[in-house]
Amino acid sequence: MPAFLSDAIDVDAPDQALRLAAAERAAAMAVPSPESEVWRYSRIAELDLATYTPAAVRTTVTGADQVPAADAALVAQLVAGMAVHDVFDELNAAYHRTVAICVPAGKVLAEPIVVTHHIDGGSAGSGAPAFYPRLVIHAGADSEFTVVERFESADDTRALVVPRLVVHASQAARVSYLGINLLGTKVWQLGHQQATGERDSTTLLATVALGGDYARVRTDARVVGQGATTKQVALYYADGDQMHDFRTLQDHIADKTYSDLLFKGAVQGTAKSVYTGLIRIREDARGSVAYQTNRNLTLSEGAWAESVPNLDIKTNDVKCSHASTVGPIDEEQRFYLESRGIPPQVAERLVVLGFFDDVLSLLPVSLQGHGDLRADLRARVATKLQAAMA
Amino acid sequence: MSTLEIKGLVASVAGKQILNGIDLVVRSGEVHAVMGPNGAGKSTLSAVIMGKPGYEVHAGEVLLDGVDLLALPAWQRAQAGLHLVMQYPTEVPGVGLNDMLTEAFKARGRNTDTLAQEVAAEAERINFPVALLDRSLNVDLSGGEKKRNETLQLALLAPKFAILDELDSGLDIDALRDCARRVEDATNENQLGVLAITHYNRLLEELHPDHVHILVKGRIVASGGPELADQLEADGYEAFTGGEPEGAVQAARPSSLDELFAL
C-alpha cells in the first residue's frame, strides 16, 4: 500500500481507481525544489510533507439552491483536463473532496454561490492535517454567475491546504470567481487554479489573500475561443512573517482574445511577497490584447516584495503591456494629506486603502447585496495596518 | 488678530542653500505677494514654512502667534492654522475629497455631520463641478479643476494663514478669477492672512495684495505696496537683480515665439 494512502481516501468514491493511481504516483515524487524556476523565491524548502496527515475538509455551500446536481460525466471530463505539474496536484487527485458547480446554459444567478472551507486543526497526537479541496465550476453557454470560495481557520490552527480549482466558461458565459484567504498564520496554502474560456466568454478570477503563513496560488488562465476574455485581480497583504506567492499565466490560444490582470499587494513587518506573471500569445492568437500590472507597497524596512513580469509573444498584430512597481508609500501623497492636518498614521491608512481601492472595486461582489463583503475586506486591511502601527 | 512671522530664515535643499535670510510678517486679513524669478526660492519658501520633508533649515524662525512652527511636523503646523495651496497638487489615487476632509476635520476635533453639505456649498461657490467630488484627489482633474479643489479645501479647513504657491500656474483665467475671489472673500469674512507666491502679475490683478515683496536669490530685495508689482511689470526682474539675467536657462530662450520663427 502506498505510503500516502489513508482513511482520507474515499474508497467508495466512483473515481477510486484514479485516486489510488494518483496516490501511488505521488508517493514516488519528491517535493519540488526551490532550485526549479517554477518554485523560485518560494518557501517550499521549508515544507515537510511527512508532518501532515490527509484529512477530510469541512466545507459548506450556500446560494446553490437553483443549481441542479452536477453531471458526473461532465465533471470527470473537466477533471481529466486538469494539468498535473507536481506532487501537490497528484495528492489533490488522490485525496480531493470535490464541490462541483455546473450552471446550465442560459442561467443567470443574481446571488453568488459561496463555498466555505473551514480549516480545522488536527486532534492531539495525529500531527497536522492536510486538506485537499477541489472546486469544479462549469458555466454553461450564456450563463452568468459568481462563485466565492472562502478559506478560513482559527489563528492557532496548524494545517496544510492544497486547493485545486477548475473553471470552464462555455460560449458567451460570464463567470466570476473570488477566492478569499482568511487563514491563520500557521496554515500553509499551495493553490493551483486553471481556467478555460471558450468563444466570447468572460472569466474573472479574483483573489484576496490576507492570511496564511506561506500562501501560494498559481493561476493558469487560458483563452481558447475567439473573442474570449479573462480578467485577473488580486489584493494581497502580508504582515509579520507571512509570505504571499503568486504565479499567473495569461495564455492566449485563439485570435482576438483579451486578457487583463491587476495584482496589488502590500508587505509589512518582515513579510514577503512574490509576483511572477507571464503573458503568452501563441501563434494563432492574432489581434489579441493583453495587459498585466503588478504594484507593491513595502510598508516597512524589513519587508520584501518581488515582481517578475514576463512576455512571450509568438505572433504579430497584438497589443500587450506590462507594468510593475515595488516601493514604499509615496512621500508626496503622504505630505499632501499631512499638509491638510491629517496625522501620519491616518494619512498612511488613507494612502494604503486608496492604493487597494481599485482592486476592491473590481472584485465580483455586487454593491447591492454584498457591499458588506467589500466593506468587510476593507476593514480587515485597515485592521492589519493598525496592528502594524500600534 | 493673528501673526505669521518669518525671521532670518535660511534653508537648503539637496545640500544647496536656497533661502539666505527671509524676513516677513503677515497679519490676519492681509494679503502679501512674494514675487520672484525662476530659481529665486519661491517654492522652497512655501515648502519650508509648511514642513515638507527634504528641506533643511539652518537658521531663523517661523512663528504663528508665537508658536514655533519649525519645531512641528507638517500636520501639526496645519492644525496650528497654516494651509498650503500647492502649485502642483499631488494625485492621491483611491482617496476621495470627502475621505480626506473627514479625517482632516476629525483631527481638528470638528464635527463632520454637515460636511457633505458644506462641501457641496463650497463646490458651488467655487464652480467646482459636483460630479467631480467623488473622484480621487487630483486624479484626472484639469489644471483649473485642481486649483478650484485646492481653494475649496482652503475655504473648508478655514486656516489662519494660507500660502498660495503659484496659484496662477496651469489654470485658465476663469478659474484664476474664481479662486482669487474666494481667497479674497476669506480675507474679508474670516480674516485669513495670505502669502501669495508668484512669478507673474496675473494673479495680483485678481487678488489685490496689500504688500508686495521681491524675492531674488533667496532674499527679499524690495518691499512695498501694490505699486511695486506695477514697477516689476514695467521693468522686469532685471531691475531687481542688478542687471543680471533671470537665469541661464531663461536667458538662452528667445523672448517671444515670433523671434524664434524669424531666426
pLDDT in tens, A182-221: 999 999 999 999 999 999 999 999 999 999 999 999 999 9
Decide if B179 is inside a domain.
yes
Indicate whether A181 belongs to any domain: yes
Domain membership of residue A267 (yes or no) is yes
Cβ-nearest to B94 among A335, A336, A353? A353
Residue B253 lies in a domain: no
ipTM of this predicted complex?
Answer: 0.91
Q: Give per-residue pLDDT as tens, A77-113.
A: 999 999 999 999 999 999 999 999 999 999 999 999 9
- Residue B92 to residue A354, Cβ atoms within 8 A: yes
Instruction: Select from B92, B105, B139, B150 the residue whose CB has the most chain A CBs within 10 Å, as the one to mutate to test that interface.
Output: B92
Give pTM, 2 decimals. Answer: 0.90
Taking CB atoms and an 8 Å limit, are B136 and A354 in contact across chains?
yes
Asked whether residue A379 is domain-assigned, the answer is: no
Q: Establish if A80 belongs to a structural domain.
A: yes
Model confidence pLDDT, tens digit, residues A218-249? 999 999 999 999 999 999 999 999 999 999 99
* B239 contact partners, CB below 8 Å, separation of at least 6: B231, B232
Q: Is the residue at B89 inside a domain?
A: yes
Does A273 fall in a domain?
A: yes
For residue B107, is it within any domain?
Answer: no
Residue B129 inside a domain? The answer is: no
| Closest CB from B52, B53, B78 relative to A340 | B78
Measured CA angle at A381 (ends A377, A386), to 5 deg:
145
Cβ contacts of A330 on chain B, cutoff 8 Å: 90
* Residue B233 reports pLDDT greater than 90: no
Tell if the CB–CB gap between A339 and B104 is shorter than 8 Å: no
Q: How many folded domains does chain A comprise?
A: 1
- Residues B219, B231: Cα–Cα separation, whole Å: 19
Structural domain containing residue B40: 3-93+159-244
Say if the Cβ atoms of B95 and A344 lie within 8 Å: no
Q: Answer whether A351 sits within 8 Å of B92, measured CB to CB.
A: yes
Grid coordinates representing B155 are 475655504
Q: Considering the domain boundaries, does residue A32 fall inside one?
A: yes
Statement: residue A316 has pLDDT above 70: yes
Mean pLDDT of B223-231: 92
* B104 chain-A contacts, CB cut-off 8 A: 340-342
Nearest chain A CA: its distance from B112 CA (Å): 14
pLDDT given for residue B205 in this prediction: 87
Is residue A37 a part of any domain in this protein?
yes
The answer to which of A31-35, B137-141, B231-235 has the lowest mean pLDDT is: B231-235
As a whole number, the mean pLDDT across chain B is: 91
Pairing of strands A187-197, A128-131: unpaired
Determine the average pLDDT of the residues in A160-164: 98
Q: What is the pLDDT of residue A190?
A: 98
Instruction: Examine residue B259 and state whether it is found in any structural domain, yes or no.
Output: no
| Helices assigned H by DSSP within chain B | 42-50, 74-80, 97-107, 115-125, 143-157, 173-189, 202-206, 227-235, 248-252, 257-262
Q: How far apart are CA A213 and CA A121, in angstroms?
A: 15
CATH number at residue B235: 3.40.50.300
Residue B122 lies in a domain: no
- Tens digits of residue pLDDT in A330-357: 999 999 999 999 999 999 999 999 999 9
Using CA coordinates, name the residue in chain A closest to B74: A339
When CB atoms are compared, the residue of B75, B153, B157 closest to A344 is B75
A-chain residue closest to B96, CA distance: A354
Interface of B to A at Cβ within 8 Å reads 50-53, 73-75, 78-79, 83-84, 86, 89-95, 99-101, 103-104, 107-108, 136-137, 153, 157
- Would you say residue A343 lies in a domain? no
* pLDDT greater than 70 at residue A6: no
Domain membership flag for residue B260: no
Q: Name the phi and psi angles at B223, rounded to 5.
A: -135, 145
Report the number of distinct structural domains present in chain B.
1
State the residue range of the domain holding A145: 16-328
**Alpha carbons A305 and A295: distance in angstroms, whole number:** 10
